[in-house]
Amino acid sequence: MIIVYPMLVSSNVQTHVLPGIAKVLEKYTLTYQLDDIIQNASRLSKGKKLSYTGGRFKLSEGTTLEAKGDPFDSPPQEKPGEKASVKVDMPTFNTLSLEPTWIKVDTHVGTSMIGIKVVPFPVISDAGLISLITSDFYKGWFPSKISGLSRGVVRLLWAALRKTPILRRLTPTISGDPTKDIVFARTTHVSNIFLVLNNMDIGSDFFERTNKIKQLYSLGWSSFVITDDVNKRAFFCMKEYHGMCSSVQYNFMYTTIGKEHGKVYDDLEDVKKSSSPFFKLSTKASKIVAEQYVTNKINEYLIGQ
């Protein structure tokens, strides 16, 4: 089973940082949304609904299963009569290829692999995206409440459509339009869609106003990432952060998922510099000094005249 999380990307974002951002988001998804992932693995328990709560897995019939390897809570003691167990192995992040990030789930009925893959998808209109998100960001309290209610009604209608077997086929796929894909949650991915922007497209006070970032979430926006190519860092503004954004340097972002990935980032940076005239210094420093010396002498001569 592979669970796909689309990532809408502005065309102003440099493509060489997207593999690292995608892997960080996959790790984030496994950390903060493990419950949703396990819900999709209900078939591991013979069709019974399996939920993850506080270090335990529970079946719909009330049978409690021990969760081994939980990264947050110590495994609880087994109760008398418990025969079933579930073991979750968190994966190692050792690839930047098309392969998803895997998690292995062991149950009393067998072993299954669940893959998490964040897939970049281009935004169809950068101007429309920036206009919409900045408009929502600077909205007043009352207009934001009205917009939130109206958008909530639209999302409920699409949710009802997805739950209707006959009409489920009419649910559209990802389109690249943030209004349809994220704000209205029309697709089968619902609100599990990330957004990547460039900091040159938004105001400088964007990160300083946590209440406004929380307002974006109330208006239907999902978690988003803002890249800063000048300082070579990315701001991760996740819903779970309650309006705060975490800054991560590009090179650190790559090295935390493996030392070889840090080398990959350095190689990408070298390729970018060699292919871009803006970063390439083709003239020797000694030649620059000599030319400047000649220029100064010419100026002195002209002034003397």
pLDDT tens-digit map of 83-138: 445 566 665 545 556 778 888 777 666 677 788 899 999 999 999 999 999 999 99
> CA 13: distance to chain centroid?
13
Structure confidence at residue 195 (pLDDT): 96
Through-space distance between the first and last CA atoms of the chain, rounded to whole angstroms: 83
Structure confidence at residue 198 (pLDDT): 93
pLDDT, average across residues 55-82: 42
Ramachandran angles phi, psi of 25, nearest 5° = -70, -35
Residue 227 burial (10 A CB sphere; 0-12, 13-18, 19+):
buried
pTM for the structure as a whole: 0.72
Measured CA to CA in angstroms, residue 230 lies from 188, 199, 250 at distances of 36, 10, 11
Structure confidence at residue 287 (pLDDT): 46
Structure confidence at residue 11 (pLDDT): 92
